Amino acid sequence: MNKRYTIDQFRKDYPDNDACLHKLFTVRYTNLVCPKCDSDKPFTRVKNKKSYQCPCCSFQIYPMAATIFEKSTTPLTHWFYAIYLQTTTRNGVAAKELERQLNICYKTALRMAHQIKKLMGNKKPDKLTGVVETDECYFGMKIVNMTKSKRAQMYDEHGNLIDNKTGIMGFLSRHGQVITEVMHHGKTFKERVRDNVSKDATLITDGHSGYEGLDIEFFKHEVINHLIGEYKRGEWHNNNIEGFWSQLKRTIKGTHIHCDAKYLQIYADEVAFRYMNRERQDEMFNIILSHVA
């Protein structure tokens, strides 16, 4: 049975803002040597201030500086609880849920949610090695679900339907690592693969023409041809990355209902983080906080 970090443990560890601030201090400043006087004596908390100071020269350090918590009027206990909630669910936490539980306005809740998502995704792994499943997925509202005025904007002057879908390319190593890349810019499929997958990897893709020729550049390139009803050939398949897309769709369509294209990358990064750490729920909270440093 996997270890769990429970709400009782969380409340015991972080009962107030002082405990949260001390956690930030220990995460950001390990083996601290005073930059002013070179003293290695432990810094002490400054009374009534969100800072720690050197006992020798009184040089002060602010643990919240240059972090997502800087200049925020929201209590640290709220921030920490919002981070904790992200570690206890498979499909994320909606900003409306944070608004309800923390009794804050929706604008604040949405900003907190986005900042935490950035923390979850700011440690991009190296290029993937081994067997790497590669696939693409597209997100966007269906035309039939749009309002009449919005639907009218989906056609150009010649009456042709404008593609409103935003694509994401995903790379999943069978070692458990995931990288996602929203396809906003003019990079080709091959360029995205080169940027995220090691040359000595075995690449598994579908039959999309954008992947043609990669067998020359990579150790091996196996193609699963869905057009002829092929979804698995021996050990070669894209079932893992397809499962990842299912989780991403459940998160966006189920929990958040809608996600603007400009924020799609941080939502994909959030799901990738949760997927890679799904067996380490008891460590996820500290992993997210470690990204503050």
On whether residue 200 sits in a domain, the answer given is: yes
Residues 17 and 116 in one domain: yes
Question: Mean of the pLDDT values across residues 49-78?
Answer: 96
- Inform me whether the pLDDT recorded for 1 exceeds 60: no
Residues 117 and 143 in one domain: no
Residues 86 and 174 in one domain: no
Model confidence pLDDT, tens digit, residues 117-176? 999 997 777 899 999 999 999 987 676 676 777 777 666 666 666 667 899 999 999 999
| Residue 284 pLDDT grade (very low, low, confident, very high; cuts 50, 70, 90) | very high
Domain residues for the domain of 76 are 7-121
Residues 110 and 148 in one domain: no
On whether residue 275 sits in a domain, the answer given is: no
- Inform me whether the pLDDT recorded for 212 exceeds 70: yes
Number of domains in the chain: 2
Q: Residues of the chain with pLDDT > 70: what percent? A: 94
User: For residue 242, what pLDDT is reported?
Assistant: 95
| Residue 265 pLDDT grade (very low, low, confident, very high; cuts 50, 70, 90) | very high
Model confidence pLDDT, tens digit, residues 91-106? 999 999 999 999 999 9
DSSP the chain: ------HHHHHHH-SSHHHHHHHHHHHH-SS---TTT---SPPEEPTTSS-EE-TTT--EE-TTTTSTTTT--S-HHHHHHHHHHHTS-SS---HHHHHHHHT--HHHHHHHHHHHHHHHH------B-SEEEEEEEEE---GGGS-HHHHHTTB-TTSPBPP--EEEEEEEETTS-EEEEE--SS--HHHHHHHHB-TTSEEEEES-GGGTTHHHHSSEEEEE-GGGT--EETTEE-HHHHHHHHHHHIIIIIIIS---GGGHHHHHHHHHHHHHTTT-HHHHHHHHHHTT-
Q: What is the pTM of this model?
A: 0.90
User: For residue 60, what pLDDT is reported?
Assistant: 96
On whether residue 283 sits in a domain, the answer given is: no
Span of 16-25, 46-55, 120-129 with lowest mean pLDDT: 120-129
On whether residue 72 sits in a domain, the answer given is: yes
Model confidence pLDDT, tens digit, residues 223-263? 999 888 889 999 999 999 999 999 999 999 999 988 888 99
On whether residue 265 sits in a domain, the answer given is: no
Residues 251 and 210 in one domain: yes
| Residue 4 pLDDT grade (very low, low, confident, very high; cuts 50, 70, 90) | very high
User: For residue 208, what pLDDT is reported?
Assistant: 92
Question: Mean of the pLDDT values across residues 29-44?
Answer: 94
- Inform me whether the pLDDT recorded for 80 exceeds 90: yes
